[in-house]
């Protein structure tokens, strides 16, 4: 029983690294523009399907398809920004409606181009098992992209804290008008936040494709997970995103192991509601970040 629990915890941490990539992109856009991009999960899914096409039609390794997937997904993310930027009144509400519609369009585009069949990576190396400490098992794809996820989250955190553009993005998120007075171009900063969000979505999509199966309907579920993690973390906290993602991954994994896979999604929602009730500002809420 102990070994089973340890394996479940380990699998949850690996899943959390994927979730963090998805959620961080959503959190960046919300922090900059106060826009919840309900098409974000579909961008992740688009990256996964581009990787599938590159492997199936061109014979490329999923990792080798990264440049092509980046071009498509980042370009689509910037197009979403352009459409959202046309909204001049009630941006928060109208952007929800707009991005939800974009998500529906992307889902149906995926259905038309790739059909409703499920797909997974066919390169055997990604599915080979690795044994750690003689007790913990994981696919090599899970280990590789968990490392990618943690590294990218750390890189984004460093970029936001140390680089000029990162500080500009935080300045726009804090006070758009004051940032303009200090010479910051808000529009360029917002485009940059959507582009970085697209990069994170692309890597997350390829990670999901190599380790799991993909199908057109999963985009909505990915958006919901990203939103849950963003709220768990507390708006604007990069470490909180990683912690919230790992916590969600562990709760889901333990639920599947100890109860039933049918309760996996429900467990995530219960965690979301409990944290929201006890800590409305999230695990790393505003008071914590000031400290």
Cα first-last separation, the chain:
40
DSSP E strand boundaries for the chain: 129-132, 136-139
| Residue closest to 57 by CA, chosen among 111, 142, 114 | 114
CA distances from 262 to 24, 146, 176, 253 (A): 27, 25, 44, 12
CA distances from 48 to 41, 85, 138, 155, 185 (A): 11, 27, 20, 22, 32
Instruction: Work out the angle between the directed axes of helices 2-33 and 40-58 (0-180°, nearest 10).
Output: 110
| Residue closest to 208 by CA, chosen among 18, 5, 29, 55 | 18
pLDDT in tens, 156-187: 888 888 888 888 887 877 777 787 877 788 88
Cβ–Cβ under 8 Å, residues 21 and 226? no
Task: Kindly report the average pLDDT of the chain as a whole number.
Answer: 85
Domain chopping of the chain, boundaries: 2-290
| Residue closest to 210 by CA, chosen among 111, 151, 143, 115 | 143
* pLDDT at residue 286, rounded to an integer: 54
Residue 80 pLDDT grade (very low, low, confident, very high; cuts 50, 70, 90): very high
Helix (H) or strand (E) holding 101: helix 91-114
pLDDT in tens, 256-272: 888 877 788 888 888 88
* pLDDT at residue 290, rounded to an integer: 36
Residue written as tokens 């190599």? 210
pTM reported for the whole predicted model: 0.88
Can you tell me whether residue 237 is helix, strand or coil? Answer: coil
From CA 109, how far away is CA 111, in angstroms rounded? 5
| Domain made up of 2-290: CATH architecture | Orthogonal Bundle (1.10)
From CA 62, how far away is CA 39, in angstroms rounded? 23
Task: Output 166-170 pairs: Cβ under 8 A, ≥24 positions apart.
Answer: 169/28, 169/31, 169/32, 169/193, 170/31, 170/236
* pLDDT at residue 283, rounded to an integer: 67
| Residue closest to 87 by CA, chosen among 67, 72, 102, 75 | 102
Residue written as tokens 């690795």? 130
**Mean pLDDT throughout 73-99?**
88
Residue 104 pLDDT grade (very low, low, confident, very high; cuts 50, 70, 90): very high
């Amino acid at each position: 029983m102990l070994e089973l629990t340890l394996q479940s915890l380990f699998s949850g941490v690996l899943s959390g690294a994927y979730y963090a990539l998805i959620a961080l992109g959503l959190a960046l856009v919300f922090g900059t523009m106060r826009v919840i991009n309900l098409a974000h999960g579909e961008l992740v899914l688009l990256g996964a399907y581009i990787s599938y096409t590159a492997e199936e039609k061109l014979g490329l390794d999923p990792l080798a398809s990264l440049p092509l997937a980046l071009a498509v997904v980042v370009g689509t993310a910037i197009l979403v920004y352009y459409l959202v930027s046309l909204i001049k009144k009630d941006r928060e509400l109208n952007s929800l409606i707009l991005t939800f519609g974009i998500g529906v369009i992307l889902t149906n585009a995926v259905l038309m181009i790739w059909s409703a069949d499920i797909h997974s990576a066919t390169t055997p190396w990604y599915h080979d098992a690795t044994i750690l400490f003689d007790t913990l098992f994981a696919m090599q794809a899970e280990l590789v992209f968990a490392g990618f996820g943690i590294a990218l989250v750390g890189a984004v955190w460093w970029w936001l804290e140390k680089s000029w553009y990162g500080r500009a993005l935080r300045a726009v998120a804090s006070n758009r008008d004051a940032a303009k007075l200090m010479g910051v171009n808000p529009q360029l900063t917002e485009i940059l936040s959507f582009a970085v969000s697209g990069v994170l979505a692309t890597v997350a999509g390829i990670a999901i494709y190599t380790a799991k199966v993909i199908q057109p309907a999963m985009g909505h579920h990915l958006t919901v997970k990203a939103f849950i993690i963003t709220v768990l973390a507390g708006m604007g906290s990069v470490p909180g995103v990683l912690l919230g993602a790992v916590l969600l991954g562990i709760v889901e994994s333990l639920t599947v192991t100890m109860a039933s896979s049918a309760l996996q999604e429900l467990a995530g929602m219960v965690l979301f509601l409990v944290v929201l009730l006890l800590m409305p500002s999230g695990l790393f809420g505003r008071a914590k970040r000031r400290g």
